[in-house]
Amino acid sequence: MKCSRKLEQALTALRDGDFVLIYDAKGREEETDFVVAAEHVTPARVYQMRHDGGGLVFLMLHHDIAVKLGLPFLAEVFAHAAGRWPSLAGLAPDDIPYDTKSSFSLPVNHRETFTGITDNDRALTIREMAQLAVDIEAMTEDDARRTLGERFRAPGHVAVCRAAEGLLGERRGHTELSVALGEMADVVPVMAGCEMMDHGEALSRRDARAYADEHDLVFLEGQDIVEAWRQWSG
């Protein structure tokens, strides 16, 4: 696959454990997220995300990994439980202004964390989810799901998002953009992210670019990733 210089820099950054900043698209969320390969996350990386980003620190899993682990979409859990707790039916995410479906699954903590919210705890949870993705490759579904429960508990302090089955052919959110970029970088397709916020609203694309320049980070537009992924997966 022939890549632009900027995309090559982004792939190298992910392999090296560095951040890439991803802006989804004008007319969508219009937000920039910190993105890093989960396998490389350290407490310092979590600190930088929450301090300089300020949004939700979350995980993004490839569809196949989420399915093997039996991690449902949270909206499906609510719909299933609505028979017992009817108020859950009214909480359905059927009016998202920028998309047709939420990618959120369950929030988790690793079982070796204490409260789960500290930089150390969240880094452990994030890193160990990437390790679990590697470990389950040779497991049956039953063993993978049992191992998930042995290593993690829910609810927790790290939200998990599931990528769409068709990745960027189906949805173009930060989850799919990040997982697709991770696949192209040949890292474990479990990514960590955090939205970049400003006073009262999302950080502007211009200011996110300036942050990237100041901190020597790669800034990518969602469309750059979509075009590269089409060639790569073609």
pLDDT, one tens digit per residue, over 6-29 is 999 999 999 999 999 999 999 899
Backbone conformation region of residue 187, classed left if phi is above 0, alpha if psi is from -120 to 50, else beta:
beta
146: containing domain: 5-71+106-233
Q: Which two tokens stand for residue 6?
A: 């900027």
Q: What confidence score (pLDDT) does residue 100 get?
A: 77
**Residue 2: its pLDDT value, please?**
63
Residue 94 domain flag? no
**Any domain includes 95:** no
State the pLDDT at residue 98: 86
Global pTM? 0.95
How many domains would you assign to the chain? 1
Q: Is 90 within the bounds of a domain?
A: no
- CATH number for 41: 3.90.870.10
User: Residue 216 has what pLDDT?
Assistant: 98
Asked if the structure places residue 168 within a domain, the reply is yes
Which residues in the chain show pLDDT less than 50?
none
Tell me, what's the pLDDT at 1? 57
Look at residue 78 and tell me if it is in a domain. no
